[in-house]
Amino acid sequence: MFTGIIEDIGTVHSLKKGKSSMELSIRSEKILEDVHLGDSISVNGVCLTVTSFTKSLFTVDVMPETVKASSIRTLKLGSPVNLERAMSAQGRFGGHFVSGHIDGTGTIIKKERKENAVYYVIQLEEGLSTFCIPKGSVAIDGTSLTIFGIERNLLTVSLIPLTHQDTILGQKAAGDIVNIENDMIGKYIIHQMKNGNPKPGLNLEFLAEHGF
State residue 183's pLDDT score: 81
Total number of residues shown for the chain: 212
Q: In this predicted structure, what is the pLDDT of residue 13?
A: 98
Check whether domain 104-209 has CATH 3.40.630.20, yes or no: no
Tell me the pLDDT tens digit for each residue of 135-160: 889 999 999 999 999 999 999 999 99
Q: Give yes or no for a contact between 140 and 104, defined as CB atoms under 8 angstroms apart.
A: no
Predicted pLDDT at 207: 57
Domain spans, the chain: 8-85, 104-209
CB 180 within 8 A of CB 138: yes
pLDDT tens digits, 174-211: 999 999 999 876 666 666 666 766 555 555 565 556 55
Q: Give the model's pLDDT for residue 94.
A: 62
8-85 and 104-209 agree in CATH topology: yes
Residue 45 to residue 26: CA distance in whole angstroms:
15
Q: Which CATH code for domain 8-85?
A: 2.40.30.20
pTM metric for this prediction: 0.86
Task: Give the model confidence (pLDDT) of 45-102 as tens digits.
Answer: 999 999 999 999 999 999 999 999 999 999 999 999 999 999 875 666 666 788 999 9
Q: For position 204, what pLDDT does the model report? A: 57
Q: What integer pLDDT is reported at residue 129 of this predicted model?
A: 87
